[in-house]
Amino acid sequence: MIRLNLTATPQWLDLAPGLRLLVGPLTTALMVSARADATIEAMPETATTEELALAMAKAVARRAVLDWEGVGDDAGNIVPVSAEGIDALLEIWPVFEAFQTQYVARGLILDAEKNASAPLPTGRSAGAIVTAPPASPTRAANATALTAPQD
């Protein structure tokens, strides 16, 4: 069963001690937009799965992150949310992993739930195709089975 959250309110994600991101809901529109991101489209065909995953995570985060707490520059000054800041933040391995697990994976789990096989419309054999002709009732009733050869 798919559980719908119709509130569509932003939520805080605690990604590391002292680091929180306020993210909007992971919607179809957000994912479609991220997939069409210029950085994704510009990736060479020789890009590895890992490179594609990082680029996609950054594209999703640039669209989803609305605010953050615990992000500062080298001098410790709080910095506002920016595309460059989000990209730099996701270059930190534990942050990337936490974002993938807490935000992106929730959408993938929901996607997996909807991909379950639906029940067949009118019984368990409704979706099956015929592979052999039906047996003739008169012939089957009068026929005798041959015994197996004995060694």
Write the pLDDT tens digit of every residue in 104-113.
987 665 544 4
Q: How many CB atoms lie within 10 A of CB 71?
A: 21
Q: Average of pLDDT values for 115-120?
A: 47
Task: Answer whether residue 42 is part of any domain.
Answer: yes
Task: Answer whether residue 29 is part of any domain.
Answer: yes
Amino acid type, 137: P
Q: What's the pLDDT at 48? A: 94
Locate the DSSP E strands across 28-102.
65-69
Write the pLDDT tens digit of every residue in 43-92.
999 999 999 999 999 999 999 999 999 999 999 899 999 999 999 999 99
In total, how many domains does the chain have? 1
Structural domain span for residue 63: 14-114
| Cα gap 88→70, rounded to integer Å | 14
0.85 exceeded by pTM: no
Task: Answer whether residue 43 is part of any domain.
Answer: yes
